[in-house]
Chain A
Amino acid sequence: MSSTQSAVRSHAEAVQVSRTIDYLGLFILFFVILGGFHVHAMLTMGDWDFWSDWKDRRLWVTVTPIMLVTFPAAVQAIVWEHFRIGFGATLCCIALVLGEWINRYFNFWGWTYFPINIVFPAILTPGAILLDGVLILTNSYLATAVFGATAFALVFYPCNWVIIAGLHMPVEYHGILMSIADISGYHYVRTGTPEYIRMIEKGTLRTFGKDVAPVSAFFSAFVCILIYFIWHFIGRWYGTTKFLQQT
């Protein structure tokens, strides 16, 4: 076979090769994103996602969507622009959550024996589907940033409430009020994580009384819009091939 001949001899073979490339490409893409996004997530919002007694209604709600709208925005910019693939954000979030679960199960539970109900990651799929959906329906990055990134942040707390609500039941513990999550954090000793570095309920957002979660979510949504743009352009830059002219 010469270099000018096709590697495939029939349409059926071409389809087969194309699908093989699809599966290989998806496999590689999935795990590359899993690795990269996981490192990014752990470095930027690690403890909020590691521990149930960090998952508060104020900082966790604010920080997590802002830090996690990044890779979806960049990956969407690449796969939508070059392939019109509409599941970039979901691919990122599914990969991240799988990576987190591998980490939590084998490291946190298997190696250091922290119960799973203390170290579970956040649910991210609903926000990712909404982010992808807005891009598909509008075919507009601007609309995706404004409406999609907003939805990504707003849906974060409600979709996770189902897995943390039980841990917020009140307990009188030796004369003081604690939630079950607080007690878990106190019981299961983290030698390197003293109580004072637990960043929860800090800030001056007191005007809205107890209803700070929606306000935090809206603030997070606003910042997510800006972050989406920044990471969209990072994605565009990353997905551009430039050729240098030989002089």
Chain B
Amino acid sequence: MKTIKDRVAKMSFLGLLLALVTTSFYAPSAMAHGEKSQAAFMRMRTIIWYDLDWSTDSVAVNEQVNIDGKFHVFAGWPETVALPDIAFLNIGIPGPVFIRSESYIGGRIVPRSVSLKLGSDYEFSVVLTARRPGDWHVHTMMNVKGGGPVIGPGKWVNVTGSMSQFKNPITTLTGKTVDIETFNEGTIWAWHGLWFAVGLAWMAYFCKSPVFLPRWIMAHSGRRAELITDTDKKVTMAFMAGTVVLVMFSYGSANSAYPITIPLQGGVLRDIPALPDQRGNVHVKVNGATYRVPGRAMSMDLTIHNGSDTAVQLCEFQAGAIRFLDSAVCEDETLYPENVLAPDGLSSSDNSAIAPDETKTITVTAQDASWEIERMSDIIYDPDSRFGAIIWFNGEDGSRQSAILNEPLIPVFM
């Protein structure tokens, strides 16, 4: 019997050790923020992020990263998602590894929620200050009340240095400069510690005499009154009086230390200025669109009318965060994340320049494995089978024009 027990103990110990070792050596970090899990129609037909620019992909602690760009609030916003009447420009990072020092929409700082208009384009900017070293996936993100987070493209940013070097000073309107990272911590620990000690002392007084068995016997034999003595009542009164005095003292001392305070600030910013029309004069009509599941390709039959005064050429098709480029016409010159960039993903039956006032019908194909990798091909399972996208044209004069597409999509399974 003893031998069996010893073996069980030994095997259990080895098992525990093995579990500890394997979990210690295998500790993967979170690689993304669930953007692939988000329904494809939400990524295509709610907030469309474009012209994004990350100022850098490597910073030291206390240095800043700027994310600038624009977003279009899709006019064909899906019925299943609440309208963006109240939305918040957030940032998708794994906790406060950066602090959000500033964020702007339309040039206005937006620490609060905003109201967005369907069909409008907005310029935004987020300034992050590095706080914790590591490789972090940084996403643009818009939270929509009732709709949830609409996450944009994410880019890896490397932070070097030590978190202990991080400082976050700010000067109040009363002239005090404090480090938000550590401000008030001593006071919090001290008062919590003091009240914890008072509570323990209160309990310790009653625990000095027997707590359970003798008291239960007396309480259930009609001798409850004997269990609380006059001394107990006097001690109780002393503790109560002491509590009230200590609370009054703490309240008074806080008012002396901080005579000027304000309530917490909140509310919705409803007058955020949208950008002027960003589309231009190229008009696109979708005659039909299919998504070929085995080929991971979306094909569109488009009639394009160039109403501008310069010749234009089809350059880019953007669905959700994925950008499909025609490499013969344009290439990405920003630090756009590679996983959602298909540099040769766009082809067309005829991509010659479209002259001013010319109308042309062509077949355009956006094909890349990223449809599958980014789980955008799941659009065929959506309850409202439509696609939303921006299609971009480069003008001969260097201009850039675009059109919004919002049409039904037919899957092809063979």
Chain B positions within 8 Å of A188 at CB level: 96, 99
Question: Smallest Cβ distance from B259 to chain A, in angstroms?
Answer: 10
* Contact present for B178 and A180 (CB under 8 Å): yes
Instruction: Give the contacting residue for B98; candidates A139, A172, A189; CB below 8 A.
Output: A189
Question: Smallest Cβ distance from B228 to chain A, in angstroms?
Answer: 6
Chain B positions within 8 Å of A175 at CB level: 109
> How many A-B contacts if CB must be within 8 Å?
276
Report how far A165 CA is from B207 CA in the complex, Å: 35
Max chain A CB contacts within 10 Å: which of B111, B171, B233, B253?
A: B111
Chain A positions within 8 Å of B260 at CB level: 169-170
Chain A positions within 8 Å of B149 at CB level: 191-192, 194
Encode A166-196 as 1/0 by CB contact (under 8 A) with B. 1111111111111111111011110110111
* Contact present for A128 and B182 (CB under 8 Å): no
Q: Is A1 an interface residue (CB 8 A)?
A: no
* Contact present for B261 and A126 (CB under 8 Å): no
Q: Give the contact stretch, choosing among A17-25, A32-40, A220-228.
A: A17-25
Max chain A CB contacts within 10 Å: which of B97, B141, B188, B196?
A: B188
Instruction: Give the contacting residue for B196; candidates A18, A94, A162, A173; CB below 8 A.
Output: A94
Question: Smallest Cβ distance from A221 to chain B, in angstroms?
Answer: 15
The verdict on A187 contacting B184 (CB below 8 Å), with A165-B261, A166-B257 known, is no
Encode A49-69 as 1/0 by CB contact (under 8 A) with B. 000011111000000000000
Chain A positions within 8 Å of B181 at CB level: 115
Q: Is A83 an interface residue (CB 8 A)?
A: yes
Report how far A180 CA is from B168 CA in the complex, Å: 12
Q: Is B283 an interface residue (CB 8 A)?
A: no
Q: Is B381 an interface residue (CB 8 A)?
A: no
Chain A positions within 8 Å of B244 at CB level: 126, 130, 155
* Contact present for A125 and B93 (CB under 8 Å): no
* Contact present for B219 and A196 (CB under 8 Å): no
* Contact present for B188 and A116 (CB under 8 Å): yes
Q: Give the contact stretch, choosing among B8-16, B57-65, B210-218.
A: B210-218
Q: Is B160 an interface residue (CB 8 A)?
A: no
Question: Smallest Cβ distance from A165 to chain B, in angstroms?
Answer: 4
The verdict on A84 contacting B93 (CB below 8 Å), with A25-B211, A137-B233 known, is no
* Contact present for B178 and A136 (CB under 8 Å): no
Instruction: Give the contacting residue for A84; candidates B101, B227, B258, B266; CB below 8 A.
Output: B227
Question: Smallest Cβ distance from B153 to chain A, in angstroms?
Answer: 15
* Contact present for B183 and A117 (CB under 8 Å): yes
Question: Smallest Cβ distance from B412 to chain A, in angstroms?
Answer: 37
Q: Is A101 an interface residue (CB 8 A)?
A: yes
Question: Smallest Cβ distance from A110 to chain B, in angstroms?
Answer: 12
The verdict on A171 contacting B172 (CB below 8 Å), with A133-B236, A165-B254, A195-B112 known, is yes
Q: Is B185 an interface residue (CB 8 A)?
A: yes
Q: Is B330 an interface residue (CB 8 A)?
A: no
Report how far A176 CA is from B187 CA in the complex, Å: 27
What are the 9 closest A-B residue pairs judged by CB atoms, nearest first? A194-B143, A84-B227, A168-B261, A165-B254, A162-B250, A112-B95, A194-B88, A188-B96, A125-B195
Identify 28 residue pairs between A and B in the complex whose beta-carbon atoms are under 8 Å apart, listed by A's number. A18-B210, A21-B212, A22-B211, A83-B212, A84-B219, A85-B215, A94-B196, A113-B96, A117-B183, A129-B198, A136-B232, A161-B251, A162-B254, A163-B191, A163-B192, A166-B258, A168-B264, A170-B173, A178-B265, A179-B261, A180-B178, A186-B111, A188-B99, A189-B99, A191-B90, A191-B93, A194-B143, A196-B87
